[in-house]
Structure 1
Amino acid sequence: MSKSLLLIFLLATIKFYSQENYNSESYKITLGDLSSKTFKKDSTANAFVIYEFGNSYVDKTNFRLTTEKKHKIKILNQEGFDQANIVIHLYNSDGGNSENVSEIIATTYNEFDGQVESTKLKEENIFKEVYDENHTIVKFTLPNIKPGSVLTYGYKITSPFMFKYHGWEFQGDIPKLYSQYNTSIPGYWDYHIKLVGGKKLAVNDSKIENTCLEVGRGGSADCTNSTYVMKDIPAFIEEDYSTTKQNYLARIDYELKTFTRADASVKHYTKSWKAVDKELRSDKDIGRQLRKSVDLEELLTPEIISETNPLKKAKAIYNYVQTHYMWNGDFKIFNDVSIKNLINSKSGNVSSINILLHNLLNESEIDAKPVFLSTRENGFPTILYPVLSDYNYLITRVTIGDKSYLLDATDKFLTFGQIPFRCLNQKGRLFDFKNESKWIDLKPNSKTATFVMAKFSLKENNQLVGKINMKQTGYHALSSKKTFFNNKDSYLNEIEDTHVNSEVLNFEAPKNNPNNPDFKANYELTHNLENIGGNIYLNPFLIKFFSENPFKLQERTYPIDFGYSDTYFYNMILDINNEYTIKELPKDVAFQLPNSTGSFVLSTKKVGSTINILFKINFNKPFYEPEYYDYLKEFMNLIVDAQNNSTILITKS
């Protein structure tokens, strides 16, 4: 059927189509794609993928990895217009080789005044720019976008990098009805193939194609041809308390294991941990820096050098590096590492600072070892086999007696044994240059908690007058220290903003310094209460730990990762004088998460003219599996409700 006849057919019948009838298993535009205006599978969606297809193979003429992609997207409303902005990332190696994109074809289809319009992307509206030293991006925006539009676009990427076989993301930030990825891998290349995200494939088929690739001198290879399909894939919606979404997106990844040459010789790309350990020991960059000796007398004071208590000495060395060298914000760990440059400039990257710490400790006969890790935003490292490109951070572990401490000297607010929150990413690889490396848990060595003690009296002029004492430990303290010591006025403004219709007086932060493990503050507060018809309604929560429930999704399929377990404690003692009578108190509430993984309690007691309110929240785990989500959501609903809606009703006697 010609294109003109097809359009006439669509126009003649389009008004009879009103229900959803998307063509989800073909790239072709159909009447149902254009006329359907809703998406019942997800009523919150602004756009969704009707169909997408990818095909990766080795071109028989130039032996380059070729990947063809096609996408068909439905725009439901204006909030979905950003799906028309397409960005293609291309990899460039240091040696000058690069990926290229070609055959970009993009079209927008609309139904308008009884007609079907197709608007093609013009070549002059395709832009190319340098993204960073190893990446170029190609960008374009599909034209003439409206609510109801259907977008189609496709392109071909040619790559000389067989070690970077293209993966495929079945899941994205909008829902997908159908996603298919075909691959053809010649037997010369052997990959680790990893399915991430925990979602099931609707199709997972593989078969052998004989002599799919012929090379010179009569050489040939068979190919493994695979088809992977997922259907009805929900959007991945990011929510608080999680690591990077790349840990949980449904996708397939490839890591080159070996390459077999035509002469049958084998090159290993994925090595054993034993082989990687050996390479790092002899590495001319990071390996040499870790072995580099340092002159203690040139850097450390005689008091530190002569200290005989190993723990005190380790703390003094840590404090020296922490206060004398500034982190430049660079995460590089395998290159641009130089202790000499760090000492001279007083500034350097993560590796330089923590390797200097490592070397000073070892030179002082304190057992220190490097730990390689991947930060929370960088993703989980591969556990089954070594992939050094997974790692972007280095810390030091020191062992004194039977106790070990994880150390990072890049932040002056960290305490001895505390690592930055960004490093709390489950596991790190401890490298022992005498023995084999091993996995260790990246766990905080101290508890995180906030304690608030509020003692108040109700005066005859309907004023609440008293004092608040606060103590924070662990990561709660770290956050407050950074705010307080970087800008004390800002910290005080935050407190004043917390207390509406109140006056904050005599603020103190006693005995605090930047690397104290705890943070303490106290202040006086005068809070004006309103008398309504002879009644005073007092919410006893002058400080609220959670202003709203952070968990809002109908379903969350990835874990809730707080990074650390923690505790919140609030105690208010209220003394009312004889001029007042208590008519109503907050109801007691208690709730426990399954398997004793968390709890909260609200308890109110009245003894004479004194009211004692106790509120305590415990998160006993740093990490909760997705099946806890509904419980956590209800848990937080009750906590927020208790803080916002608890009332003490008081009247004049």
Structure 2
Amino acid sequence: MLAAPTALAQEVPLVFGKVTAADFVAAPADSAAPAVMLCDFGQSKIVGGREGFQLEYVRTARILIRRKAGYPWTTVQVPLYRRNEQTERFKKLKGITYNLVDGKLIQEKMAENAVFKDEQDKNHTSYRFTLPNVREGSIIEFTYTVESDFLFNLQAWRFQHTIPTRWSEYRTVIPAYFRYKQITRSYLPFAVQEDKPVPYNTRMSHSFEGLAPAQEYNINTQALSSRWVMKNVPALREEPFMTAQLDYFSSVDFELSTIQYPNQEPRDVAATWEAIGTELLQQEQFGRDLYQKSTLTAQISALKARLPEPRERAAAVVALVQQTMKYNGQEQLYLTKTLKEATQRGQGNVADVNLLLVQSLRAAGLDANPLLLSTRSHGHVLESMPVLNNFNYVVAHVRLPDNTELLVDATEPVVPLGMLPKRCLNGNGRLLTAPAALGRWVSLAPTQR
């Protein structure tokens, strides 16, 4: 049985369904904007659930669509994380479009069939929904809940968007058993930034072996209540020479660092890059295939006999992979299925292409390993925060016998050996090795090697 925690109540900045005619009036500062985020309000709490604690995240947003260029804001995507048989749960979705017709406020609710589920990779899915009957001057409003058993995945919050935001607020309630590191990125001041202790009460259920039904009990302790508010936030526009626009949005991020239950020693649960690398290299849809025999063994054997010079051999392997598999434009860390199946299909995502490249370079007698990176559109990697979601791309790292290092990407036939496509030139990448202790950060700049 799930029970929400009791903490000191605060007035909320936005109540779903309470739109008035005054909300349709655009401020002079927003006159050039295609849309305006009138209010974006998020709340994350750790609550009692079945067999333990879980995260509950609620987002409610209201947006004024001023011009047709703002129509993309009527479609919302909600990412969800999953691992093995567990997955985050998308619930309680409601959406309404409001229009003023002859001074009368007309509402149209979003249909249930306006929601679509998208499979992304083995660890990520998303739900996508679109608000109905939107025209220039409409207001859209939506609210939804995400429940998660992954306590490490406390929702980040973005206060700034590519449209103006009049009010953005995020709140968290974290019981005393849990400690999160907080990473704030902002060039703008907070109107409110506060932390305070509050009483905390929740109900949890637990099944004990041999006892049925599950036993329910109350938990009473202290919690840390945090609140961040930004007002009248300007739109962030992409500027020349801006490598990663995502890095410039005002935001707050979290990493679970410590868990300490009553009468127990504190337990450090913060991830390390070494542990992430070890796990990834063992996963079936990433590293395990690298140790299997390449489907291109016959062609590679011929290359080895014909091209004794390592750099020439590496270039020939890249060309062979490009002839074998075409890149489908999808930036993903995980294989679609297996390298053998991807080779048979003749096309694949970036992991399919470049992990086949790593496997083939090794078959050609070269020292090759996968290197994870984040593309410019995905933002810079926070090296101090070991989280796999920081990355969305993988390339091959090759060390030649003379210790020259090459970064190689087989998705782009026109890019010379040792250079990466422009989209990849974004700070540093993480080299994955076995043993993991030899993994390190590698500059993605082409002049460094």
Sort the TM-score into its range (normalised by shorter chain): 0.7 to 0.9
- Matching residue of 2:173: 184
CA distance in 1 between counterparts of 2:295 and 2:108 reads 64
SS of structure 1 residue aligned to 2:438? coil
> Residues 554-573 of structure 1: matches in 2 within 5 Å?
none
Partner of 2:427: 426
Quote the Cα distance in structure 1 between the aligned partners of 2:311 and 2:49.
Answer: 65
Within the alignment, does 1:407 sit opposite 2:396 as a pair?
no
Please report the RMSD computed on the Cα atoms of aligned residues, expressed in angstroms: 4.0
Other-structure match for 1:601: none
1:542-584 deviation digits (Å, cap 9, x = unpaired):
xxxxxxxxxxxxxxxxxxxxxxxxxxxxxxxxxxxxxxxxxxx
C-alpha displacement of 1:238: 3.6
CA contact (8 A) 1:417 1:445 kept: no
Native 8 Å contact 2:110 2:131 kept in 1: no
Query: Please, which moves more after superposition, 263-272 or 176-185?
Result: 263-272
Identify unmatched segments of 5+ residues in structure 2: 1-11, 205-215
Matched residues in 2 for 1:412 and 1:305: separation? 24
Find the residue that maps to 2:29 and give its secondary structure: coil
How many residue pairs get aligned? The number is 415
Partners in 1 of 2:336 and 2:104 — Cα distance? 55
Please, what TM-score do these two structures have when normalized by structure 2? 0.75
Q: Which residue of 1 aligns with 2:438?
A: 436
Partner of 1:169: 158
Q: Which runs of 5+ in 1 are unaligned?
A: 1-23, 447-653
Contact 1:57 1:183 in 2 (8 A): yes
Shift of 1:402: 4.2
Matches within 5 A, 1:202-601: 202-215=191-204, 216=216, 219-238=219-238, 242-243=242-243, 245-257=245-257, 264=264, 270-292=270-292, 298-300=298-300, 302=302, 304-305=304-305, 307-336=307-336, 338-341=338-341, 347-400=347-400, 401-434=402-435, 435-445=437-447
For 2:296 and 2:78, the matched residues in 1 are separated by 47
1:433-456 CA deviation, whole Å, 9 max, x = no partner? 24421111111249xxxxxxxxxx
**Counterpart contact for 2:160–2:249, Cα < 8 Å:** yes
Q: Structure 2 CA distance, aligned partners of 1:188 and 1:292?
A: 44
Q: Are the equivalent residues in 2 in contact too, given 1:168–1:252 (CA < 8 A)?
A: yes
Q: What is the aligned counterpart of 1:117 among 97, 104, 116? A: 104
Structure 1 residue 428, shift from structure 2 partner: 0.8
**SS in structure 2 opposite 1:41?**
helix
Match of 1:53 among 35, 41, 50: 41
Following the alignment from structure 1 to structure 2, what is the Cα–Cα distance between the partners of residues 256 and 294?
A: 39
Q: 2:80 aligns with which of 86, 91, 102?
A: 91
| 1:283 positional shift | 4.0
CA distance in 2, matches of 1:61, 1:355: 40
Q: Is the 8 A contact 1:213 1:222 kept in 2?
A: no
Q: CA deviation at 1:271?
A: 1.4
SS across alignment from 1:377: helix
Deviation at 1:233, TM superposition (A): 0.5
Give the SS at the match of 1:205.
strand
Distance (whole Å) between structure 2 residues aligned to residue 178 and residue 366 of structure 1: 55
Question: Which structure's CA Rg is the greater one?
Answer: 1
Relative to structure 1, is the Cα distance of residues 299 and 257 closer, same or farther in structure 2, using a 3 angstrom cutoff?
farther
The residue correspondences of 1:595-610 to structure 2 (distance < 5 A) are: none
Of 256-265 and 365-374, more deviation after overlay is shown by 256-265
Distance 1:274 1:392 in 2: 18
**Equivalent residues of 1:128, 1:138 under 8 A apart:** yes
Helix, strand or coil: the match of 2:378? coil
Superposition deviation, residue 158 in structure 1 = 4.4
Give yes or no for contact 1:196–1:250 (8 Å, CA) kept in 2: yes
Distance 1:236 1:369, change over 3 A: same
Q: Which amino acid aligns with 1:44?
A: A
Post-superposition shift, 1:203?
1.3
TM-score normalised by structure 1 residue count: 0.54
Same amino acid, percent of matched pairs: 24
Which of 127, 132, 136 matches 2:114?
Answer: 127
Kept after mapping to 2: 8 A contact 1:57/1:67: yes
SS at match of 1:198: coil
